[in-house]
Amino acid sequence: MDLKSLLSEIDGLLLKGKFVDAAKKFFAEDIETINEYNHSINGKEAKIASLNDLQSHIKKVHSVKLLNQSVSDNTTFSELNYHYEYHNGAQQSYGEVIKRVWDKNGKIVAEKYYKGPIEIEKKAEKKEVAKKTEPVVAKKEVAKATATPKKKEAVKKTAVAKVAAPKATAKKK
């Protein structure tokens, strides 16, 4: 049994949004799945029913991205990001790590899901925004923190002078 190939095949189905097909093909009859709330579903039929229920509420799968895979002994890990839209218009995006335990016949006997926000993509976006805004924000904060009452009064007078200056210039013309 080549776990790396099996992992690539099941994740390939997930990337196409074919969750039920993946379960039908790879789950053992006595599989136990455990979600992020420690709720378990026992048996292939029950898990497929749960997946069918989920898919009945999904209007469109916008994206499924595979970020990482790992294989160790009879256990594999897949890190994925999901984004879908429900029939009521609500959208959901989340990251998930799936731990799978495989039997000697190439079937999954246990799956555990670890869900959370899509951290990696959001961190990259935040860093990009921070590069553009931090120096400006930092300069303003330093100026506020170090301003003495005299400096504050001088800033107010300068601001008033700048507002009044255009009127004075307009009168001279």
The answer to whether 64 and 80 are in contact (CB under 8 A) is: yes
At residue 1, does pLDDT exceed 50? Answer: yes
pLDDT confidence of residue 118: 80
Q: Per-residue confidence at 160, pLDDT binned at 50, 70, 90?
A: very low
DSSP assignment of 86-120 equals: ETTS-EEEEEEEEEEEE-TTS-EEEEEEEEE--HH
At residue 171, does pLDDT exceed 60? Answer: no
Read off the pLDDT of residues 9-24 as tens digits, 9 standing for 90 and up.
999 999 999 999 999 9
Domains of the chain: 3-117 (3.10.450.50), 122-172 (no CATH)
